[in-house]
Amino acid sequence: MTGSAAGSITFELAAEGDALGIARMSRDFIETGLGWSWTAARVLRSIRDAEALVLVAREGRHIIGFAIMDFGDESAHLALLAVDLSHRRRGVGRHLFDWLKQSALTAGIAVVKLELRAGNLEAQHFYRSLGFEEVGWTVGYYRRRETALRMALRLRQPTAGSPHSAR
């Protein structure tokens, strides 16, 4: 799917030079009010990590969306996914996730897991539309201040006796 396009938007693997732009989007759209934990250095580690997939959506040279997913033996963890406010509800997030899901299926992943702020109803709706289901809550997950809703998307049945957690 490298370099695929939807209109004037392109979707591709993130390059090392994208780390700061991705980190800023995480700070502005995901980590608002929590402090900045997904710094450029942390994003760069994910870009360089063979067990992670970092994607960007671009309009021209500007990053308008991104996604980061870590892969384990049978489960993957969707760490971050964000789309610029001006491009939401246009299929950008769905296209990013479809690429991740195809990669997970190819890798033999049984389940994709994620956490999101319990109060983020827009994100809850988005992930439910992708087929994710609620699997639990973790009080104080975000900086010991906010509850996380945990969700999962089962892609296949896990192999008996194998570890199920992403890294």
Is 87 in contact with 122 (CB distance < 8 Å)? no
Measure the CA–CA gap between 128 and 137, rounded to whole angstroms: 16
pLDDT > 80? residue 17: yes
Please give the biggest Cα pair distance in the chain.
Answer: 47
Measure the CA–CA gap between 112 and 166, rounded to whole angstroms: 9
pTM higher than 0.85 for the full model? yes
pLDDT value at residue 42? 97
Measure the CA–CA gap between 70 and 104, rounded to whole angstroms: 10
Residue 34 in tokens = 């929590």
pLDDT value at residue 48? 98
Name the one residue in this structure whose structure tokens are 């010991």.
144
pLDDT value at residue 47? 98
62 versus 36: the higher-pLDDT residue is: 62
> What residue type is assigned to position 37 of the chain?
S
Nearest one of 70, 85, 96 to 13, comparing CA atoms: 96
Measure the CA–CA gap between 130 and 30, rounded to whole angstroms: 19
pLDDT tens per residue, range 84-135: 989 999 999 999 999 999 999 999 999 999 999 888 999 999 999 999 999 9
Name the one residue in this structure whose structure tokens are 């201040």.
145
Nearest one of 117, 121, 53, 126 to 89, comparing CA atoms: 126
